[in-house]
Amino acid sequence: MSDKVYKHIELTGTSSSSIEDAVSTAIAKAARTVHNMRWFEIVETRGNIEGGKVKQWQTTIRVGFSLDD
């Protein structure tokens, strides 16, 4: 069994409904080209306000993935 090597990248996803959707949006988009994703952590969360209401969530995540052997 070989030892794994991991790399991590930061992604920012947006959603008009929730923080969770913003995270899911970022991961789903990255999954099209990045494989072997293993974990994520939330780095930063922001939002846009319009008319006194939350209009959009923006969440930056750090995603870890294993490099191919």
| 8-66 tens-digit pLDDT | 999 999 999 999 999 999 999 999 999 999 999 999 999 999 999 999 999 999 999 99
- 4: pLDDT confidence band, cut at 50, 70 and 90? confident
- Region class of 51: left (phi > 0), else alpha (psi between -120 and 50), else beta: left
**Three-state SS at 51:** coil
Sheet holding 6-15, edge to edge: 6-15, 53-66, 37-50
- DSSP helix/strand/coil, 69: coil
At the topology level, CATH places domain 7-66 in Dodecin subunit-like (3.30.1660)
Q: Is the pTM of this model over 0.85?
A: yes
Question: Position 22: which residue type?
Answer: A
